[in-house]
Amino acid sequence: MKPTASVRRTSARHLLTVGLVASLALVSACTKSEDDSAKGDSASPQNDAGQVVSSPSTGSGPSCALDAYGGEKLDLKNATVGFSQSEKEANPFRIAETASLKAEAGKRGVKLLTANAQSQFSKQISDVQDLIAKGADLLVIAPLNSDGWEPVLRAASAKHIPIVTIDRKINATACKDYVSFIGSDFVEQGKRAADQMIEATGGKGEIAILLGAAGNNVTTERTKGFEQRIKEKAPDLKIVFRQTGDFAREKGQSVTENLIQSKPGITGIYAENDEMGLGAVNALKGAGKKPGAVKIVTIDGTRNAVQGIVDGWIQGVIESNPRFGPLAFQTLDTFTRGEKVSQDIVIEDSSYTGSNARADLGKAY
């Protein structure tokens, strides 16, 4: 298990309302034990706005510094940061992610240029090239796809523009094509979702997977973790259906409508993000099903999905925290001061079930 910068989440967020510097003191590199993450009782330190605030230099993996990457020291306050968002801001995950970057830039008085690729990869490549042309000294990229970044990375590295990727990984070389990756452990998320599905179904029956969009590591890894854990721990739980819902609510609904026609006795549905899970709920409601008749487990931690647990439609949600603002800027700040940052900064996510959904609804985004 890769070491992660984390501190056990206290029971109430207000206990964690510490400034970024103070919370860095709280952070300790540790390796998640399988049990800890299964229990889901650990999460990266968050400030009172739910922003992830782990330290950028705590991970014990390989690091990156200016002398290796190339480029000059910069004072972030006098720099321009370009942020490239991947998907349209219809998904609360993207809304919260962009808001977090904007809030941190505002707090630090840093000039931020933003672009949104509206879920079109070719547009994201041209967005990043435009941000460079507009004078971005540093880039934060939330990549739509994992492959196809060579053109823009070449343009950026020719100008020694530091790049931090958040959320999804790109298939490129750390500390050469980009400085650091900041995001969740998606295989772990899949495993924890499987634990919740096993709990909800008693480990028996037939289940379906609503796959995320193709072409990115999140879908691949959430599927891998889930299927691995089901195989390990619940041989009587059969995965009988897999189809992509493209991380979208409408498609999640239409795929589920077809699913319950072809498999009316389906026991459970694992949706690889909340939007598809909420689409599945709409399909079940439309078919006259009762809450809980089909066990649903999703990943993200959006407000509507956690409310779905309270209402009985959804049995579990694994958080995928998108509020990378403080950590992304802290990483850029540390790096441009000439200090080392980890190439892989993996955050830990919390989770929601019937036992904490109502109390923790305010932590959802």
> Which lies closer to ligand GZL via its Cβ, residue 320 or residue 353?
320
Q: Which two tokens stand for residue 34?
A: 């399988």
Site track 270-309 with ligand GZL (rule: CB under 6 A), x = hit: ---x-x-----------------------xx---------
247 binds ligand GZL per the rule CB under 6 A: yes
Q: Which amino acid is at 213?
A: A
Stretch that binds ligand GZL, among 34-42, 86-94, 98-106, 156-164 (CB under 6 A): 86-94
Report the nearest approach of ligand GZL to the CB of residue 111 (Å): 26
Exactly one of 27, 32, 56, 93 binds ligand GZL (CB under 6 A); that residue is 93
> Which lies closer to ligand GZL via its Cβ, residue 132 or residue 271?
271
Looking up tokens 């919260």 gives 96
> To which H or E segment does residue 106 belong?
helix 92-108
324 binds ligand GZL per the rule CB under 6 A: no
Q: Please give the size of the binding site for ligand GZL, defined by CB under 6 A.
A: 13
Site for ligand GZL in 4-63 (CB under 6 A): none
Exactly one of 9, 32, 168, 249 binds ligand GZL (CB under 6 A); that residue is 168
Q: Tell me the C-alpha to C-alpha distance, in Å, between residue 221 and each of 200, 236, 295.
A: 22, 23, 22
87 binds ligand GZL per the rule CB under 6 A: yes
Site for ligand GZL in 173-192 (CB under 6 A): 184
Give buried/exposed letters for 129-145 (b at 16+ CB in 10 A, else e).
bebbeeebbbbbbbbbb
Alpha carbons 80 and 58: distance in angstroms, whole number: 26
> To which H or E segment does residue 143 belong?
none
Report the nearest approach of ligand GZL to the CB of residue 250 (Å): 13
Q: Which residues contact 149 (CB under 8 A, 6 or more apart)?
A: 125, 143, 170, 171, 172, 177
> Which lies closer to ligand GZL via its Cβ, residue 104 or residue 275?
275
Residue pair 317/351 in contact (Cβ under 8 Å)? The answer is yes
Q: How many CB atoms lie within 10 A of CB 82?
A: 26
Q: Which residues bind ligand GZL (CB under 6 A)?
A: 87, 91, 93, 167-168, 184, 218, 247, 273, 275, 299-300, 320
